[in-house]
Amino acid sequence: MQRFIAVRVLQSLLAIVVMSMVVFGLARISGNPLDVMLPIEAMPEDYDRLEKYWGLDKPLHEQYFVFVKRALHGDFGDSLKYQGQSAMSLVAERLPATLELALFALFISALIALPIGVLAAVAKGSPMDTAAKTFALLGQSLPAFWLGIVLMWIFAVLLDWLPSSGRGGLRHLILPAITLGWFQVAAIMRLVRSSMLEVLDSEFVKLARVKGIPEWKVVWKHCLRNAGIAPLTFFAIIAGSLLTGSVITETVFTWPGVGLLVVDAVRSRDFQVVQAVVIMFAGIFILCNLLVDVLYAYLDPRIRYQ
């Protein structure tokens, strides 16, 4: 077991190193941030002075090693756009909004997907099952930005029930949370349905029915408890996906989270903020996958020897 965990940890660290190289390189392909920071009438000596101040005059490999050295101490440098603020302080300031949106989206996903998945499995082959599978297909096919715009047009513009943007109370959360969690609703529903179908055909379920236990109790207590193992382990991956997938949703609804911050940073070529956000997202996603791998190894010992 220790060897399995050690291998997975090393693979996760390697993934983070590779991701840091990719992010470092891509951030610099977008162009020179000084072109955005300095006015048109700036003189060449102004460019030289700022390049030296920000360390942009050094070769790329030296800049990368400086970046890694600082990142190991939690220092991703100061923001080029928001001068006087560190990149991590900006991320920490926006992170609560992203966590709030992701957790509420996860709650809505589970609230919708679990009952639909259970009912689709119980009514296998019925119109209910067909409607659920169609719902899952649409959920995994619709682009998040398109869904967000449609929901905004219907519920914010036509009906005027909900606000179209910004962060506030519960009403501000509903539309972006549904947009963010819609894809996960389909994924969880399909997983619950397939797990429930396996459990419904098991011997202990047949025995429970023979004993005269009410059908609702058999389905919602005995079956769902056993069928919930696979979706439960999948929740860690979903949590990481919701955090990393919030960029589009936050941009559509002007939600002041980390996703909107990284979009603004890309537009202004703010290397430090882009690197901090992407590496944080990558770290969260890799950590979630690592936790799922370890959890699977505990649940199924056969996985440890693969």
User: What is the tens place of the pLDDT at every residue in 36-83?
Assistant: 666 666 677 777 777 777 677 777 778 888 888 888 887 787 787 777
Single-letter residue type at 299 = L
pLDDT at 183: 81
Asked whether the predicted pLDDT for residue 246 surpasses 70, the reply is yes
Least confident of 18-22, 87-91, 177-181, 265-269: 265-269
What pLDDT band is residue 268 in, cutting at 50, 70 and 90? confident
Angle between helices 271-299 and 2-29 (to 10 degrees): 160
The domain total for the chain is 1
Q: Running DSSP on this structure, what letter comes out for residue 223? A: I
Per-residue pLDDT, averaged over 103-131, amounts to 84
Identify the domain containing residue 178 by its residue range: 87-305
In angstroms, the CA 226 to CA 234 distance is 15
Instruction: Tell me what the mean pLDDT of segment 186-196 comes to.
Output: 83
Is residue 73 in some structural domain? no
| Percentage of residues of the chain with pLDDT beyond 90 | 1
Report yes or no: 180 and 253 within 8 Å, Cβ to Cβ: no
Q: What is the mean pLDDT of residues 160-173?
A: 85
* Average pLDDT over all residues of the chain: 79
Residue 1 lies in a domain: no
For residue 229, pLDDT over 70 is answered with: no
CA distances from residue 301 to 37, 47, 296, 305 in whole angstroms, order as listed: 56, 60, 8, 8
Q: What is the mean pLDDT of residues 129-139?
A: 79
Alpha-carbon span 80 to 35, nearest angstrom = 12
Backbone angles phi, psi at 143, to 5 degrees: -65, 140
Q: pLDDT at residue 278 above 80?
A: yes
Mean pLDDT of 187-203: 81
CATH of residue 153: 1.10.3720.10
168 domain residue, yes or no: yes
Is 13 inside a domain boundary?
Answer: no
User: For residues 278 and 262, is the Cβ–Cβ distance under 8 A?
Assistant: yes
Nearest-angstrom CA–CA distance, 262 and 274: 6
Q: Is residue 93 part of a domain?
A: yes
How much is the CA Rg of the chain, to the nearest whole Å? 24
The pLDDT of residue 130 is: 84
The residue-averaged pLDDT of 221-227 equals 72
Question: What is the sign, positive or negative, of the torsion defined by CA atoms of 135, 103, 9, 67?
Answer: positive
Compute the average pLDDT of residues 143-154.
88
Structure token pair of residue 131: 């409607």
Residue 185 is assigned to a structural domain of this protein: yes
pTM: 0.75
Give me the amino acid identity at 125: G
How far apart CA 48 and CA 37 sit, in angstroms, is 13
Question: To 5 degrees, how large is the angle CA 295–CA 112–CA 121?
Answer: 75
Q: Which residue has the higher pLDDT, 133 or 158?
A: 158
Q: How far is CA 237 from the centre of its chain?
A: 8
Burial class of residue 62 (count of CB atoms within 10 Å of its CB; 0-12, 13-18, 19+): exposed
Is residue 306 pLDDT above 60, yes or no?
A: no
Q: Is residue 61 part of a domain?
A: no
Provide the CA 87 distance to its chain's centre, in angstroms. 20
72 located within any domain: no
